[in-house]
Amino acid sequence: MGRTRWLNAEEKRAWNAFIGTYELLNRRLDQQLKQDSGISHLQYVILARLSAAPDHELRMTELACAVSNSKSGLTYQIGQLERAGLVRRRACESDPRAVYAVLTDEGMALLEQAAPGHVALVRELLIDVLTPDQLTALADGLGEVNRRMLTDRDPGCSD
Amino acid sequence: MGRTRWLNAEEKRAWNAFIGTYELLNRRLDQQLKQDSGISHLQYVILARLSAAPDHELRMTELACAVSNSKSGLTYQIGQLERAGLVRRRACESDPRAVYAVLTDEGMALLEQAAPGHVALVRELLIDVLTPDQLTALADGLGEVNRRMLTDRDPGCSD
DNA sequence: GGCGTCTCGTTCAAATTTGAACTGTGATGC
DNA sequence: GCATCACAGTTCAAATTTGAACGAGACGCC
């Protein structure tokens, strides 16, 4: 292994922007969602994934992968969402080890109530700030980065 | 307020890629740093910021902003780093309320030891996956997003 | 000087995340 | 049949993060 290829100015700029933007953005989205709908950003993402799945349900592990969360972390969050009546658990008939998380009608209703404000903020802070070219570059570039990390080694749901 | 402008396919693709990439990437970097150098990614970023500052020191609040962290969160992390001997606190002579976090020689040494592996992974997972155009678009686009969020309302160090 | 307001950093309890065990069950090879 | 390994989800303690409240000072204004 040769000497380290340090990041040049352009690369550093991209890297810092990437890290910083996510942290700030996530914080804002979290605050807005908590204030408006009483759920965290992570919980919103979980509900959204479920709403997009066939029959509004997904196995715990699939869901953990889909939201890039650890298994135990998901167990905790589904517990919270279940207590709030937004999700329920369902045993799988074919494999007794498996558990489905199912979006309830209340969960769907909350999601529909929360979505407009959430999307508006995502637009305001990120999407509408980018030029169409930048948007495409971001989707293509980070899409590829994502794909490689998922293929690469572990399945994203680390634990 | 009119009807919600939902995200179109392209926008959704960009948004999902952005969220997913960060989560996955952060997890990987965290694991590598913990394994190789015994510090978290956040701690690495803190040390790196300090190393880039004049005299290797920064006020607590400035540092909190710089790493997009809450004030109380930074107090905790600096506590950890101080216990590990990587950082020390220094009172400010002009304003008794203020505290400087100062990078120690040990901290600098650890940073230099950790940096090559860290940078290599950042390259492998993100930077080198992007085309030069995508890299520029990311730096420009997210840079602008960042700038607006910092100007916009609160100073990023929310708490 | 005295008063109200803001800032700096810390503290505290509660919420959340992490990673390593652990339980119970498939799947596979012999 | 029966070891053995892999897998799904949970549990648990420890680490971390959050947000509100606090103490001590600055700072401006009268």
Please, are residues B14 and A138 in contact by the beta-carbon 8 Å criterion? yes
A132, pLDDT greater than 70: yes
The strand pairing partners of A58, in sequence order, are: A101
Helix boundaries (H) for chain A: 9-37, 41-52, 60-66, 71-83, 105-125, 132-152
Indicate the burial class of A83 (C-beta count within 10 angstroms; 0-12, 13-18, 19 or more).
exposed
Residue B159: pLDDT band by 50, 70, 90 thresholds? confident
Cα(B133)–Cα(A47) distance, integer angstroms = 35
- Straight-line distance from CA A102 to C1' C29, in Å? 37
pLDDT in tens, B43-88: 999 999 999 999 999 999 999 999 999 999 999 999 999 999 999 9
Q: Residues near chain C (nucleic strand), Cβ < 7 A?
A: A 40, 42, 69-73, 76-77, 80, 95-97, 158-159; B 27, 30-31, 34, 59-62, 71-72, 74-76, 78-79, 89, 92, 95, 97-100, 159
pLDDT in tens, A78-96: 999 999 999 999 999 999 9
Residue linked to tokens 């969960």? A107
Q: Please enumerate in sequence order all residues whose Cβ is within 8 A of that of B133, keeping only pairs 6 or more positions apart, or say none.
A: A137
B154, pLDDT greater than 70: no
Cα(A10)–Cα(A55) distance, integer angstroms = 46
Chain B residues whose beta carbon lies within 8 Å of the beta carbon of residue A21: 142, 145-146, 149
Cα(B38)–Cα(B41) distance, integer angstroms = 10
